[in-house]
Structure 1
């Protein structure tokens, strides 16, 4: 039981930092039309959250299979995934929330799209390459039902945080402001960067050890 809660806490902190619910809620606000009602915001929050849960389930059960098809070792993905996370962490520390660098045309297209809650908000802004690689890596180190349960429950907690952040994004912006959201995103960026370094170093060490170095 202690092992379960340790894994639950560890996985939740890891994925929460990578997804950054408060940061992506700011992206959601940038895509919302000024005439959006509370009911529309709630609908977007629900559909986006449901989408990332479905994406998580798909990656969870097919990620390792895809690696085997392409002959990719898990440790190789750890190195590449770590590099992607490191780039994301650096952007977050510099105050650039993922998705904020969209062009004016991309934002207009997203606003005109009848269902931007799925694309681009859920995928790839919320569930992007970083969390994709992380889920595959964590699944690769899962060997028991307890470990799998901890991973699934951790992501569900992250999904709940995303839902609440999206649902209350207007109030979050009101009380935290853009500055407050950036401060939190920068702190999350430090955590993401640290996780990335661990992924890269452990992946390189395992690869070198496997090749006899």
Structure 2
């Protein structure tokens, strides 16, 4: 029973995180930024630094989430409703085939001046591990009281961070094979999945808040 809960939690968090992060949708931005790289090794290093920054960011918020809730006097249900609304807004933008403006702005992209800064801002934060993914890990980490449930959330963070590295280091091949149309199609599909998860998050938050 506990093992089943572990896999259910892992699959749900992994699916939500991957849809929110949408590393495939981030490929065009990554390719425009790697013009700063002077070698293939530099591009690989940038992809690696970005994935590590994503993992560290999400892990930090996952571990500190419950403390943040207590500090600001917020409940998990209230945060779930707010997070669901945020995710739904992002999903609507993804359904239009666009990279969410909640995640990145042109100003943030232009401010990066070296590889170390680019890997953290804007690639890791807020392009990939933005408000949506941070909200997701905080909510699910707080909702799972058992150590097995929390381990499932951490495993989902680890695997999605690794997939970010895999996709970014193969960014040129991904764009060549999928093309801009293919990337937009996948972004729309991710947006549809994210929209359904966002609605469910709001429903669960309302049920918990009103004891339904």
Shared fold, TM over 0.5? yes
Instruction: Select the residue among 101, 105, 111 that pairs with 1:102.
Output: 105
Query: How many angstroms apart in 1 are the aligned matches of 2:9 and 2:104?
Result: 34
Displacement of 1:33: 1.4
The question of 1:123 aligning with 2:125 is answered yes
In structure 2, the partner of 1:38 is 40
Displacement of 1:17: 1.0
Q: Is the 8 A contact 1:92 1:189 kept in 2?
A: yes
Q: Is the 8 A contact 2:59 2:157 kept in 1?
A: no
RMSD: 1.9
Q: Is the 8 A contact 1:24 1:98 kept in 2?
A: no
1:83-132: CA deviation from partner (whole Å, max 9, x where unpaired): 110010000000111369733x544333x345211111101111100011
Q: Unpaired segments of 5 or more residues in structure 2?
A: none
SS in 1 for 2:35: coil
The question of 1:86 aligning with 2:88 is answered yes
Q: Is the 8 A contact 2:108 2:122 kept in 1?
A: no
Distance 1:106 1:157, change over 3 A: closer
Distance 1:144 1:107, change over 3 A: closer
The question of 1:145 aligning with 2:147 is answered yes
Instruction: Select the residue among 1, 8, 11 that pairs with 1:9.
Output: 11
SS in 2 for 1:152: helix
Displacement of 1:37: 2.3
- Number of equivalent positions: 208
Q: TM-score, normalised by structure 2?
A: 0.91
